[in-house]
Amino acid sequence: MSFEVWYNPSDSLLLRVNVYDTDGPAGKPGTNLNKSGHNMLCTVRKDDRFVSLDLKPFDIYVKDDFIVSLELLKIYGESELGLALAGAGQEHYGSFRKYVSQDKWEKLDDRNMAYKLETSLLVSEKVAQRFEKRKSKKERKQQTVSGFVIFRGKMISEVQVVNNRTKELVLTDEKGRYRIPIRNNDILTFSKDGLKTKHLQIKDKFTVNVIMEPNE
């Protein structure tokens, strides 16, 4: 997948790519079709004009129309956010936006962000189901750690949790909970603007709660 950047004043932006079914209300984004359990992350640097991301490792299967979105995770540098991407006209859908992960989608424009997507040949539903079963079995065997991130007695959302070995990144949800794949002795980094970054080595634990401190 690739897209063209027309304007970006920031040093760099960390974005997450999401692929949704069109089963939301009035054709809005609905079910997230990325079932891999891994984030589709890409970095847009200040001088980038074309940004590409390999989607093959995520094994995304689509049957009908779908919607691709970009989610802003982090801004690097002091410049104000001003991202502009190439657009394309289309008879259906258009562009949607929401400001936080638990917000409702709203219609932004009849135009669409322009992506270039390369897809594999169609496979039967039975073949896709076999792939999904094998992938689910593999994921069940994979060790994960989960827990809550706490600041001043409250669970906090939008904390970045990174596995330093795999570079996989997740964000805590609205209840402050996270879950991320690990191996024994992996180091996790917890960070959020205004708070001290915390590094923890995971040893034979499946649940780890983290208390954050102000960045004074």
Summarised one tens digit per residue, pLDDT across range 8-40 is: 999 999 999 999 998 888 888 888 888 887 889
Say whether pLDDT at 186 is over 70: yes
Half-sphere exposure of 197 (CA within 13 A, CB side): 8
- Confidence at residue 201, expressed as pLDDT on a 0 to 100 scale: 93
SS3 content of the chain, % helix, strand, coil (to 5): 10, 40, 50
Say whether pLDDT at 140 is over 70: no
Rg (CA), the chain: 19
User: Could you give the CA distance from residue 207 to residue 58 in angstroms, rounded to a whole number?
Assistant: 26
pLDDT (average), residues 106-133: 78
User: Could you give the CA distance from residue 74 to residue 161 in angstroms, rounded to a whole number?
Assistant: 13
Domain boundaries, the chain: 2-125, 143-211
Domain 143-211 top-level CATH class: mainly beta
User: Could you give the CA distance from residue 117 to residue 196 in angstroms, rounded to a whole number?
Assistant: 39
Counting every residue written for the chain, the total comes to 216
User: Could you give the CA distance from residue 173 to residue 179 in angstroms, rounded to a whole number?
Assistant: 10
pLDDT (average), residues 169-180: 91
User: At 167, phi and psi to the nearest 5?
Assistant: 70, 10
